[in-house]
Amino acid sequence: MVKVSPLAVVEKGAELDEGVIVEPFAFVGPKVKVGKGTVIKSGAYIDGDVEIGKDCVIFASHIGVEPQDLKYKGEETKVIIGDKVKVREYVTIHRGTEGGGGITKVGNDVLLMAYVHVAHDVFIGDKAIVANGVQIAGHVEIGEFAVIGGLTGIHQFVRIGKHAMIGGASAVHRDVPPYTVAQGNRARLVGINIVGLKRRGFSKEVIKALSTAFEMAFKTEEPLQVALEKVKEEFKEVKEVLEFVDFIKATKRGICQA
């Protein structure tokens, strides 16, 4: 059964699945689709082409509004939000742009804390945590299980790898490889995310291999590409190390310095 407060506005055309709750003073636009069991709390404003998965909780936030991109001319773009996502107070999630693929996407089991800004064409992977006040510019990619510390700013087109950790109040202007920790203004790599990997059940062998790979890649006088080939050869059986190497090789913005 769908429960919509008489003090809420749900426009004709909106699709609300079984068990959806819309609290007073929320607004749901005509192109919005909301999955089973999701709660839209008081003050939420959801408009444009937006798909929200099941069992989400949306606090007083703006989702699906036009992107802050001067090249945007009103083209049809969208926001996709996965299952079990929690969007806290005053988060903004903007629609994509034609030049960026047209979709802003948030994966499953993601937590966006208060005052987070998710700009156009951003991708956030499953189970990522984005803390209070983080500002994510357009076209950013954040991998699964990444943790972004509060008050951090992330530059356009930056990629943050899976299981990475960004320290609070950082300014991230270049890519951050998977499994690493970066912090500071400008952000620098400080090592492997050992605590996070232990918490997620990675073996001691994998963590040690990643730590050694990090030292080989960034604590040497050799050119980075030469060092990465040596890392790849030594740890060719370790999937996580190969992901670490391939991510760095694919960078377009460059990698944060260590």
The contacts of residue 118 (CB under 8 Å, 6+ apart) are: 91, 92, 93, 94, 104, 106, 112, 124, 136
Question: Per the residue annotation, which of 94, 117, 120, 139 is the catalytic one?
Answer: 120
Catalytic, 17? Answer: no
40, β-bridge pairs: 22, 58
**Exposed (0-12), middle (13-18) or buried (19+): which is 66, by Cβ within 10 Å?**
middle
Question: Per the residue annotation, which of 47, 49, 69, 121 is the catalytic one?
Answer: 121
Catalytic, 138? Answer: yes
The contacts of residue 60 (CB under 8 Å, 6+ apart) are: 41, 42, 43, 44, 89, 90
**41 close to 57: Cβ distance less than 8 angstroms:** yes
Rounded distance between C-alpha atoms, residue 136 and residue 117, angstroms: 6
Catalytic, 155? Answer: no
Amino acid making up residue 149: G
Amino acid making up residue 223: P
Q: Is the peptide bond before 186 cis (omega within 30 degrees of 0)?
A: yes
**227 close to 217: Cβ distance less than 8 angstroms:** yes
Question: Per the residue annotation, which of 82, 138, 143, 153 is the catalytic one?
Answer: 138
The CA-based diameter of the chain, rounded to the nearest angstrom, is 67
Which residues form the catalytic set? 120-121, 138
